[in-house]
Amino acid sequence: MERRPLGRTGLEVSVLGFGAGQVGSADLEDRAASALLNGALDAGLNLIDTAPSYGLSEERIGRFLSGRRQEFLLSTKCGYGVPGVEDWTPECITLGVDQALRRLRTDVIDVLHFHSCPGEVLQRAEVVDALRRAVAQGKVRVAAYSGDNAALQVALSNGAFGSVQTSVNVFDQRALDAAVPRARALGVGVIAKRPLGNAAWRFDTRLSAHDVGQYWERMKAMAVDPGDLDWSELALRFSAHAPGVSTCIVGTANLDNLQRNVRLLEKGPLPEAQVSALREAFRRNDAGWDGVI
């Protein structure tokens, strides 16, 4: 599988990464979780992305992949979820790093993100410094930020982060006009999340869930014709090959779906005319949309 530099971090990431959120579900048996994680590595993916809020995900990655640790880059999140400690404090960051290292059964986390905190948190020097110390101590390789919109711009202005994770998909293209080009100019890696736009095309009517509902409304307004492609192929190839994107992460509980995604990306970028049509359809409608998904 194609690999790209993650900005100027010195790391190289597969064009497709594995989002391990569903691996954390208690409804998924251990055997299936192990098959998914090992199947991702066998398929050529070298980035596994998780978070402490993803149920059993970190613990299962540690249990099922510790013997293959040299084969992949490990990405997780921090800033919350440490028992007895206030979220978004230096103590929470420091203890959260150690907590993640234990659960993941590793000596170092390759990419550690502040997880969708507001810009105000990013302006607290003591909180950012706690993450910098983890890097200086060798516990973390790359300090990163995961989020969108105004907070993402604050993160890019901060200078502390070597990589960012943000939404990039057919129905959410705002980052492609501002944050992604800026990250590229700064040498900051970009991990695209939600590349499938929550697969809004699966539904005949708008769902009540805010994120899927918003994407569904945008899909209808854009009136995009995927042509000879199915929606998942159109969406995945659009996001993965957007200029400035280092990798995109897709989660699944089905190994066949993961392997299919690998085959789709082997087809390369969409034709330029199709990309231009998708970009124009978004820009034509964007002014009337709420920016928060």
Mean per-residue pLDDT, 254-272 = 95
Mean per-residue pLDDT, 199-216 = 87
Mean per-residue pLDDT, 223-238 = 93
pLDDT at 204 exceeding the cut of 90? no
Share of the chain above pLDDT 90, in %: 88
Interval 130-180: pLDDT, tens: 999 999 999 999 999 999 999 999 999 999 999 999 999 999 999 999 999
What one-character-per-residue DSSP string does the chain give? --EEE-BTSS-EEESEEEE-TGGG-TTS-HHHHHHHHHHHHHTT--EEE--TTSTTHHHHHHHHHGGGGGGSEEEEEESS--TTS-TTSHHHHHHHHHHHHHHHT-S-EEEEEEES--HHHHT-HHHHHHHHHHHHTTSEEEEEEE--HHHHHHHHHHS--SEEEEE-BTTB-HHHHTHHHHHHHHTBEEEEE-TTGGGGGG-SS--SSHHHHHHHHHHHHHT---TTS-HHHHHHHHHHTSTT--EEEEE-S-HHHHHHHHHHHTT-SPPHHHHHHHHHHHHHHHTTS-S--
pLDDT at 7 exceeding the cut of 80? yes
Interval 19-73: pLDDT, tens: 999 999 999 999 999 999 999 999 999 999 999 999 999 999 999 999 999 999 9
pTM: 0.95
Mean per-residue pLDDT, 223-248 = 95
